[in-house]
A = this chain, B = another copy of it.
Amino acid sequence: MGQKPFNDTFLKACRREEVPYTPVWYMRQAGRYQPEYREIRKQYSFFEINDNPEVCAKVTRLPVEQLGVDAAILFADIMTPLKPIGVDVDIVPGKGPMIGNPIRTVADVNRLRAIAPQRDLPFIGDTIQLLREQLSVPLIGFAGAPFTLSSYLIEGGPSKDYHKTKGFMYAYPEEWQALMDKLADVTIDYLTYQIASGAQAVQVFDSWIGSVGADDYEAYIAPTMEKIFTALKATGVPTIYFGSGAAHLLPIWNHLPVDVLSIDWRIDIQAARALGIEKALQGNLDPSTLLAPWEFLEKKAKAILDQGMAQPGYIFNLGHGVFPEANVSQLQRLTKFIHDYTKK
């Protein structure tokens, strides 16, 4: 077959096992910073790539081949499973996901359908199966977390402050819980389907959860996340929970039945460990440093790696996604550096 031997370093790190070097992948590692991706986007819209297994697998593989990262992540959007449940969503370049029918009332919550991934998103399963034949690194599946999904659904698009979302949560706690329950089921069903199709780990993106105070998280969000990670635990694949600006929630996350916590750059690994976090950790380079000179980036990466390597269960990543202005050669060099510096 001529295929490379399977590289399971990333999965081992998720399980806090000994690894030959620190594994690395990057959130949004397939994207507009790549000339090849921009070329493909001239032919296909975002959702056209998503719906076409051959193209979607190609885009997913691109950063693995180009950067040498230790994991692939399915190319999709957190909005992908919302289309079939009745959400009118479009990814608008330069703006993000825009919702044509935002949630304003309880009736809007009730209108959301359940998901049947095999029927609604067969292309996702096909893409994953194709990728499993093609890849020699683990494939990460993913979904958005209910709070972050609901923030788009309620605000109607990206927001800076989530007042409407939190206002709905405070004012209509029962309806909020109904929405959380519905989105939790979507997340569980969608991720279980990805895992059944071949995803070897899953990450739940709660990108905007950092806007919620700890007491509100405990009351309005934690039970839903508990339910999701408990359901996923039955699959046996490692689970990762990501949030940005969410250091204040780490003590609560530590009690969730999730394997890996993905942290941003506002708290360092040592400080997270000092909070009593024993789970595997992922992160925590500020993506803005990708615009810095190499010497600076190397210094930052080294400081993170020195902390990360101090105990098993560490995966190098950014604290948030790669962005269009980043450049490929910087990420290539960074990936090589991480491997070289941590090789035992």
> Which B residues touch A170, using CB under 8 A?
288-289, 291-293, 296
Counting CB contacts under 8 A, is A343 at the interface?
Answer: no
Copies per assembly: 2
Bound-complex Cα distance A215 to B290 (A): 17
A161 within 8 A of B: yes
Residue A166 at the chain B interface, CB threshold 8 Å: yes
* Contact of A164 with B266 at beta-carbon distance under 8 Å, contacts A286-B213, A288-B170 already known: no
Mask of A200-215 contacts with B, CB within 8 angstroms, 1/0: 0000000000100110
How far is it, in angstroms, between the C-alpha of A313 and the C-alpha of B296 when the chains are bound?
Answer: 41
A323-B287 contact given A213-B265, A292-B170, CB 8 Å threshold: no
| A274 contacts partner chain B, Cβ-Cβ < 8 Å | no
Q: Which residues in B have their C-beta under 8 angstroms from that of A213?
A: 265-266, 268, 286
Q: A170-B292, A291-B171 are in contact. Are A325 and B266 (CB under 8 A)?
A: no
Residue of B at shortest CB range from A168? B291
Select the residue from A162, A171, A291 with max chain B CB neighbours within 10 A.
Answer: A291
User: Which residues of B sit under 8 angstroms from A296, Cβ to Cβ?
Assistant: 170-171
Q: A247-B247, A325-B163 are in contact. Are A210 and B266 (CB under 8 A)?
A: yes
* A287 and B160 within 8 A (CB): no
Task: Collect the chain B residues with CB atoms within 8 Å of residue A163's CB.
Answer: 287-288, 291, 323, 325
Known: A160-B158, A267-B248. A288 touches B166 (CB 8 A): yes
Query: Complex formed: what's the CA distance from A247 to B248 in Å?
Result: 8
For residue A258, give the distance in angstroms from its CB to the closest CB of chain B: 21
Closest chain B CB from A150 CB (angstroms): 13
- Does A161 lie within 8 Å of B248, measured CB to CB? no
- State how many angstroms separate the Cβ of A328 from the closest Cβ of chain B: 16
Any B CB within 8 A of the CB of A245: yes
Q: Contacts A161-B287, A170-B292, A248-B267 known; list 19 others, CB within 8 Å.
A: A161-B288, A163-B291, A163-B325, A164-B291, A165-B288, A166-B286, A166-B288, A166-B289, A167-B290, A170-B289, A170-B291, A170-B293, A171-B291, A171-B292, A210-B245, A214-B268, A216-B286, A245-B245, A247-B248
A-B pairs, top 4 by smallest CB distance, nearest first, are A167-B291, A170-B292, A166-B288, A213-B265
